[in-house]
A and B are shown apart, each in its own frame.
Chain A
Amino acid sequence: MARLNSPEELEKFRQEVVSKRDPNTPCISICAGAGCIASGASEVIAAFKAEIEKQGLKTDVADTKETGCPGFCERGPIVVIYPEEICYLQVTPEDVPEIISQTIKEKKVVDRLLYVDPTTGEKATHESDIPFYKNQERNIIGNNIHIDPKSIDDYLALGGYSALVKVLSGMTSEEVVEEVKKSNLRGRGGGGFPAGRKWEGSRNAPDETKYVIVNADEGDPGAFMDRALLEGNPHSILEGLIIGGYAIGSHEGYIYVRQEYPLAVENVNIAIKQAEAYGFIGENILGSGFDFTITVHQGAGAFVCGESTALMTALEGRAGEPRPKYIRSNIKGLWERPSVLNNVETWANVPLIINKGADWFTQFGTDGSKGTKIFSLVGKITNTGLVEVPMGITLKDIIYQIGGGIPGGKRFKAVQTGGPSGGCIPEELLDLEVGFDELSKAGSMMGSGGMIVMDEDTCMVDVARYFINFLTDESCGKCVPCREGLRQMLKILTNITEGKGKAGDIELLEELSEVAGDASLCALGTSAPNPFLSTVRYFRDEYEAHIKEKRCPALSCKELISYHIDPDKCTACMICLRKCPVEAVDGGKKKIHIIDQEKCTKCATCFEVCPSRFSAVQKISGEPVPAPIPEDARTIVKKSKEK
């Protein structure tokens, strides 16, 4: 592959690539993102390849493509057949021969693999008909299903690197910064800081050496949109980064990827090598005189390294302890040089803004939050996956229209946004229009875009305890308000969930929250109290039930619940008796079962295995377990048939 030395050479090459592709040739696109791989996509891919070979089909009859993640992770492995755009869900290797013979050869649809609407029963043949996708605005993630992340030609065929050409051959660095400022693009990693202003600060800083950095640490548990973008369309991030470097006058880019994403690390490294070979990275890019290099740096398992100053400290080869931000890092950052650090999704927006213009971008979203945002919709939700929507859409629409509501007939309770720095939003605020400032006002924050849906079975006190526990482990431990404050908060919250809460606990937690919020060194510490503060704001009654009544309203906290078999419902079927791992169920054939509370470990096995038509096992909290019925009443007498 000869290096492309000018925009003209690139366009000529791009035409060649496109001309070799016949849009009418059937292309079997199989999602090869980490989620689908975990669901068995590798076996499906192998099955397709084997079947195609077995049937002797040539590539002009059928070709396979292993693509990036399109986001409908609940229903993977996902296969989309082009050009018809027929979408099959939860495909197994056993389905493959039928797909080849029916859909590829006979152009017939395999009905049972289509999406079925759970309420109407209607089937959707095309990807764009599926409600999950239909109600999204997939400006960024929409390309994933069309690209093999290991192929730079796929990216070029879709117009990739044309934004870079536009910048290098026709825009000054000021103009690039102005366009990004005009777009009002706000950071997609959590801070929501206006990207254009950050870039401008660095551009104006009087220093020869500057850096641009991609924050791909994505530590918020429950968030995986950056993984999907970096794994699925790595070149889009590279292109954004090179443009950013040009805009501020930086020649060195870093990509900090969390080590827990090996596929993303692999794909971005391949993409960099390809971009170097083609001449998009290196010296005198496309004859413009602009030089740029990119280095990949892996994380090593520390949530705090997602904080920008900690990330820079880690890039310097040290333990990721944050630094005070009294002098902003876009002025003094990595190695004390001006550094622009932005999130993966922020960088992915840049080529779009350059190509289509800030005016196009600002048509999406609200006044304060422009553009689209990718959310990871997970937890107690029917359609788990990644959703890209315009800012301003309501939480209700995301959860019900796109997410398909709460499974199992359960009631919605709260949606947690913003990761460990965020908060829980209750049912009464579901009409909230999603945006940076709106979520902050409600006591939460946008964060990286994680949206964890919780239902009636989720205990909100336990949610607070969970996040504080997470942060006591992930805190760097340098400053007192965070390290010691969280230590004490965890003790108190754990005690509350174990029935050891006492009067004054909530007030003490609030005081600790205030000190951590005001005096911590970094945003991990100052935002750490948010999960507690938001749950006590909207669910104070749950805290009080735990403390005053030793009762868990959600019937979740192990120490506060007991399992009891209702003697009126038990049919002595012996299922729970056999399954109980500690033999705590006493009973026999036709003898009503009783749980020995001394032996019971609250593992919930009996609760789960009792057939739903009996539903004899109950969870009790806040009151004593009813005394066992007398021995002579335990024998089940079959009613004789009336003659």
Chain B
Amino acid sequence: MSEILLQIDGKEVEAKEGMTVLQAAQSAGISIPTLCHHEKLEPFGGCRICIVEVEVRGWTKHVVSCVYPVAENLVVKTRSEKIDKIRKMILELLLAHAPDSPELQDLAQEYGADKDRFEKEASFCIHCALCVRYCAEVKKANAVGFVDRGIRKEISFIPEISSKECKSCMECFPLCPTSYLQAVFVLTEALASPSLSSDPEQMD
């Protein structure tokens, strides 16, 4: 694979063809925030917080670094007034759903995001899809997936599969930034076997 030379925040970075800007930055010790990124998973490009400014052939545009491929002589800026504004807004939008998430709180501090900017809607899930993608790509079990679209989109376990697979796995649980995943799993279990959970004799 050929070597590619690009510039990130004024620093010369060596990368290999096929790498993403995010991978190149990380290899050079330049930090870019992420929420939906995971080394074991295909890039998702959903949270948009890894957004950076790139200049190619004289044109400047904003792209998500977890997906954008490195190119010879690419000039990348990982911070700017606009980038920071976008990241702050993304955090504020997500904090309305999960104000107590440690990952979100850390980033909120760095970007000055106000967790009370938007009215709270305690739905927690930030749609990073780490659980869905991990189960599909790494475990190949497909026990959890998305349903619906738009503002009604949410995660949903397939009870027939999760009752067999999940108890002995649970590898996706620590990935969830809001702990919503665990809550949904418990609820799915309870609904799948109501007799066990509602029978007072059984509950000790």
Contacts and interface: CB of A to CB of B under 8 A. Distances in A.
Interface stretch (A227-235, A470-478, A619-627): A470-478
Contacts of B86: 481, 515, 518-519
Contact of B82 (A473, A474, A486, A518): A518
A603 interface: no
A487 interface: yes
A520 B47 CA distance: 9
Contacts of B46: 478-480, 521
Given A324-B64, A479-B45, A519 B90 contact: yes
A519 B151 contact: no
B89 A515 contact: yes
A478 B151 contact: no
A interface, by DSSP: helix, strand, loop or mixed?
helix
B151 A483 contact: yes
Contacts of A483: 127, 150-151, 153
**Residue with the greatest number of chain A CB neighbours at <10 A, chosen from B44, B45, B51:** B45
A473 B153 CA distance: 10
Contacts of B64: 324, 521
B46 to A, nearest CB: 5
Contacts, number: 97
Contacts of B126: 480
Contacts of A471: 150
A484 interface: yes
Nearest to B145: A319
B62 interface: yes
A483 B44 CA distance: 15
A556 to B, nearest CB: 25
Contacts of A476: 149-150, 153
B62 A474 contact: no
Contacts of A478: 44-46, 127
A621 B153 CA distance: 37
Contacts of B119: 491
Interface string A312-354: 0000000100001011000000000000000000000000000
A172 to B, nearest CB: 31
A486 B118 CA distance: 13
B136 interface: no
A394 interface: no
B151 A486 contact: yes
Contacts of A487: 93, 151
Contact of B150 (A327, A474, A481): A474
A511 B45 contact: no
Interface string B88-132: 011001101000000000000000000000110000001100000
Contacts of A480: 46-49, 90, 93-94, 126-127
B173 interface: no
**In the complex, which range does the number of interface residues on chain A fall in?**
20 to 34
A428 to B, nearest CB: 32
A332 to B, nearest CB: 11
Contacts of B159: none
B99 to A, nearest CB: 14
A488 B97 CA distance: 12
Contacts of A485: 89, 93
A302 interface: yes
Contacts of B49: 480
A475 B150 contact: yes
B166 interface: no
A475 B89 contact: no
Interface string A508-521: 00011011001111
A458 B93 CA distance: 31
A476 B93 CA distance: 17
A324 B90 CA distance: 18
Interface string B134-173: 0000000000001011111100000000000000000000
B144 to A, nearest CB: 15
B180 interface: no
Contacts of B150: 471-477, 483
A512 B151 contact: no
Contacts of B67: 324, 326
Given A481-B90, A484-B93, A326 B149 contact: no
B85 interface: yes
B62 to A, nearest CB: 6
Contacts of A488: 93, 96, 118
B137 to A, nearest CB: 15
A488 B90 CA distance: 12
A324 B127 CA distance: 17
A485 B51 CA distance: 16
A522 to B, nearest CB: 10
A475 B151 contact: yes
A521 B93 contact: no
Contacts of B13: none
A475 B149 contact: yes
A519 B93 contact: no
A87 B127 CA distance: 57
B199 to A, nearest CB: 38
Given A319-B149, A485-B93, A488-B93, A326 B48 contact: no
Contacts of A477: 127, 146, 148-153
25 contacts: A319-B149, A324-B45, A324-B68, A326-B67, A326-B69, A472-B151, A473-B151, A475-B151, A476-B149, A477-B146, A478-B44, A479-B45, A479-B46, A481-B48, A481-B90, A483-B151, A483-B153, A487-B151, A488-B93, A488-B96, A491-B119, A515-B85, A519-B90, A520-B48, A521-B64
Interface of B: 44-49, 51, 62-64, 67-69, 82, 85-86, 89-90, 93-94, 96, 118-119, 126-127, 146, 148-153
4 nearest interchain CB pairs? A477-B153, A484-B93, A475-B150, A515-B89
Given A326-B68, A475-B151, A480-B126, 20 more contacts: A326-B63, A326-B67, A471-B150, A472-B150, A473-B151, A474-B150, A475-B149, A477-B127, A477-B150, A478-B46, A479-B47, A480-B48, A480-B90, A480-B127, A484-B93, A484-B96, A515-B85, A515-B90, A518-B62, A521-B48
